[in-house]
Amino acid sequence: MDAAGPDAYRRGVAFDVPAGSYERFMGRFSTPLAPSFCDATIDDLADGARVLDVGCGPGMLTRELVRRLGPGQVSAVDPSPPFVETAAARFPGTDVRPARAERLPYDDDTFDAALAQLVVHFMTDPAGGLREMARVTRPGGTVATCVWDHSGGSGPLSRFWDVAHRLDPSTLGEGHLPGTAEGELADLLDKAGLSDVRQDRLSVSVRFSDFDDWWEPYTFGVGPVGVYVRRLSPDRLERLEAALRAELPSGPFEVRADAWCATGRA
> 64-83: per-residue pLDDT in tens?
999 999 999 999 999 999 99
Q: What is the mean pLDDT of residues 129-147?
A: 98
Q: Listing from the earlier edge strand, what are the strands of the sheet with 111-117?
A: 95-98, 74-78, 51-54, 111-117, 137-148, 253-265, 195-208
The yes-or-no verdict on residue 187 having pLDDT over 80 is: yes
The mean pLDDT value of the chain amounts to 93
The single-letter code of the amino acid at 59 is G
Long-range pairs of 245-250 with CB within 8 A, sequence gap ≥ 24: 245/211, 245/215, 247/159, 247/163, 248/159, 248/211, 248/214, 249/211, 250/210, 250/211
| pLDDT reported for residue 172 | 86
- The model carries a pTM of 0.92
The yes-or-no verdict on residue 2 having pLDDT over 60 is: no
- Are 154 and 257 in contact, with CB atoms under 8 Å apart? yes
Q: What SS3 state is found at 55?
A: coil
Q: How far is CA 63 from the centre of its chain?
A: 15
The yes-or-no verdict on residue 12 having pLDDT over 60 is: no
| pLDDT reported for residue 14 | 57
